[in-house]
Structure 1
Amino acid sequence: MRINFRVIYFMVFSVISIVSFAEKMPFPISVFKKANKGDIAAQVSMGWFFMKNGDEDDALKWWMRAAEVGNVEACLNLGDFYMVRKDMKAKYWYEKAVELGSAKASRGLAVYYQDMEHNTEESLRWMTDAANKDDTESQFILGNWYRHDEPLIAISWYEKAIEKGDVRAMHRLADTYYQIKDYEHAFYWYKEAAEKGDIECQSHVGYMYTYGKGVDINHKKAGYWIRRAAESGYSVAQFNLGLFYSRGSIGLEKDERKAFDWFKLAAQQGHSGAQYNVGVYYFKQNQSEEARKWFQLAAENGSEDAISILKRL
């Protein structure tokens, strides 16, 4: 099985972010008094106060106090703290949090075993444990893990994450159905995610309406979804809208100026095809230096057409 767990994890796993504030937060006197009297929630809060103000030693002191009496959040915070620093103490605190029932700690152990001990089997075991405890992140991660080699298993994990409303899982579930050529299910989930604001899925829905993939061809709806994604800044949709205007297709009137405007927006975001087309536009306008600039950018981004035309120029 092909696994690229490290990439998946760093995309989705939440860890402590240590920040230095230009101005220190005011000291929470009332919380401090409660913490000193043994209030566990206050002790955890004091840990966060000191951590956010850059005082790691005092933060750890308060979290340790809460963890020693069995506070799961404090144990998890300590696990995350040491994991960020690649310190093997992370394992101890994650295991403590797991004993207290934390699904996030099981996910933490999965990351620990992958990153620190390079033990993929144990990593998978703990990620599955977290997912079985209804940890949505773990369910999403497992979907990504299995997607290319065992898509049916991936589908089952994405579906569990979707039950919690995870739009990313809807997107990846649609991708997985598309991968196995089940276009009707792919269209359904792309549209579900599109309606919830996923701009890449909006573009996919437009594409599928354009070419009748999993749904009847409907150019009016295709234009609606592609324009919606383009106006939200998705470069692929901007490029496609430029193509449709340049060709006068999907019910749009041919308009070279509108085509150029959409190509330019996509080009500015690094879309190589759009950069090439912007270069062509300037070339036709006899603006050779401007054309060469865009052809060069397109070539640097891998456009074979741009590489070819630069050689001729």
Structure 2
Amino acid sequence: MKHDIIILLGILLIGCQSQPIQSCSESDDLLYEQYWQFQESMLFGIGDEDTAIESLFKSAEAGYAESQSQLGGGYAYRPDLIKRKGADIDSAVIWWLKAAEQEDYVAQKELAIFHVRMKEWKQAKYWLKRAEKNGFEDETLYHEIRGYERRNVQPIPKESRIAVKQYYQFLSYVQSGYKLNFDIKNLIESAESGYVHSQTELACCYAYRPDLLGCEKPNIDSAVIWWHKAAEQDDWVAQEKLAQHYADIQDWKQAKF
């Protein structure tokens, strides 16, 4: 999908002569090509990786919405693809905002998710509505926002927002295929601070990936403890995991609850 972008190129004066200004259409095509140069490099290994990353940044900085959205995703979830050491959610939000204002629904959706994770349901609701106008649908996200709205959940205070950053660092660690350096103590610290999404992820580590915690085998008892903490904050993933756990041990009363 191409977006109409008007780019005014500077006129280079050499004596009394000047270079012709590149047309809007030609500029658009160039930005699109730079965007796809990155896609082809990441997906198919075509071309030089460093050049592809540079092209993505150039395209995003020139105002191409899809590149801006992609760059935001890189900072949030796959910093390794843009040669960064770890997740930088602040930079991700900056780029998503640039793309979202150009009606890129992927960026709008990511902003809605980010604000849900910050418990800023008013902003989450705003961006989800804009994304829906551009064709995005997600009933789960909608109900999560509605749940916060009904309970008038308060945003995470600034002094506690490190927990959210630690959570995104864990997500990027997992999505990179565990290539990035990440201290699992950061996830534990985030969970212990009360951050619900980290509590759910920590529970899942105990249940399914004990190796990430330095354990030899799953610890279901610990998983259940953390799922309960998250479930009490109405995290639907934790609630679903608990229901499945109690069904597995045939505790139907708890499973139904």
Between the two structures, name the one with larger relative contact order (CA 8 Å, sep ≥ 6): 2
**Rg bigger for which structure?**
1
Tell me, yes or no, whether TM beats 0.5. no
Give the TM-score range, shorter chain. Answer: 0.3 to 0.5
What is the TM-score of this pair, normalised by structure 1?
A: 0.35
What is the TM-score of this pair, normalised by structure 2?
A: 0.42
